[in-house]
Chains A and B, each alone.
Chain A
């Protein structure tokens, strides 16, 4: 009985309309999964787009929920889509005004791990970016204090990169108390 209603096309989310209008050149792909709009944007314009998403009075994605990354090095299908960018930095945004979520992904190539820091837009990005740096080795340019946050300071490598061995490289057997306490 509701069939007609179901096939009726949903209106395009406002955020997609506006992004296509203002930042069409930055948009690499757009999608909708389980009610969340997912956009992939070019790294070069990432900061500008995120700033636009936050400051535009109609969108107002003022809350940065999370910053993380994905290592796609073992996901051939994902890799091919975005010009073999190994990492995908993921920003989860929420708009109190529109009561909706948005996922912004930024492809980052292995040979250039730099990507702009968004600490200037959201103070809360500070520790989230530190964690992403610690775990994946993404270098957030312009971050005020890009240090490890979870692993010990003298740790080498970035353990959530897929080629990092699960049992580590011997650090759990060989670590040095004096060095750690210093």
Chain B
């Protein structure tokens, strides 16, 4: 997708003078780029991951929204999709992966288990990953439909366009 005048114009605060000169801010252009090329890091630990795979495959085709470049290296990705149950033994691994991702980074907590433990209210399961890593978008459902995951990606995109900071850095900005 090429950068067209309309795209830039649509970005809030951009102005087009006549001819080929466009004025905007560098933040807006960068955010526009970020938004359309989110590189997800899949953290699929259970049944929700099957829906995530469906979302990425041809039928639902997440690449329509610019997020098809799945990276299994956290160092190359900026969107963490936590899909599945996280046990107390897995949580340090998830935290380490989150820490390895470069800023700015966003987190989607997919499904009831990742968001609140779901039906597994037991000794071994983390009752919501947001106790340990900041989560930007939660998806309800057990499992959520692929459309729900697409919607979550779109919400992350909206968040980026609006210029809001990811959950992970908000606390840094406050101090």
Contacts and interface: CB of A to CB of B under 8 A. Distances in A.
Contacts of A164: 123
Contacts of B4: none
Nearest to B95: A177
Interface string A10-47: 00000000000000000000000000000000000000
B127 interface: yes
A53 B132 CA distance: 51
Interface in A153-182: 159, 164-169, 171-173, 175, 177, 180-181
Contacts of A173: 131
A180 B90 CA distance: 10
B88 A175 contact: yes
- Chain B's interface size range is 10 to 19
A41 B123 CA distance: 33
B91 A175 contact: yes
B98 to A, nearest CB: 11
A5 B91 CA distance: 60
B88 A181 contact: no
A168 B91 contact: no
Nearest to B132: A177
A172 B92 contact: no
B126 interface: yes
B122 A166 contact: yes
B95 A167 contact: no
A172 B95 contact: no
A172 B121 CA distance: 10
Nearest to B92: A180
A172 B96 contact: no
Contact of B96 (A159, A167, A181): A181
Interface string B109-141: 000000000000111111100011000000000
A165 B89 contact: no
Contacts of A169: 123
A57 interface: no
Q: Which of A164, A169, A175 has the most CB of B within 10 A?
A: A175
25 contacts: A151-B89, A159-B123, A159-B124, A165-B123, A166-B121, A166-B122, A167-B121, A167-B122, A167-B123, A168-B123, A168-B124, A169-B123, A171-B88, A171-B123, A172-B88, A172-B124, A172-B127, A173-B131, A175-B88, A175-B91, A177-B91, A177-B132, A180-B89, A180-B92, A181-B92
Interface of A: 150-152, 159, 164-169, 171-173, 175, 177, 180-181
Q: Which 3 A-B pairs have the closest CB atoms?
A: A168-B123, A180-B92, A152-B89
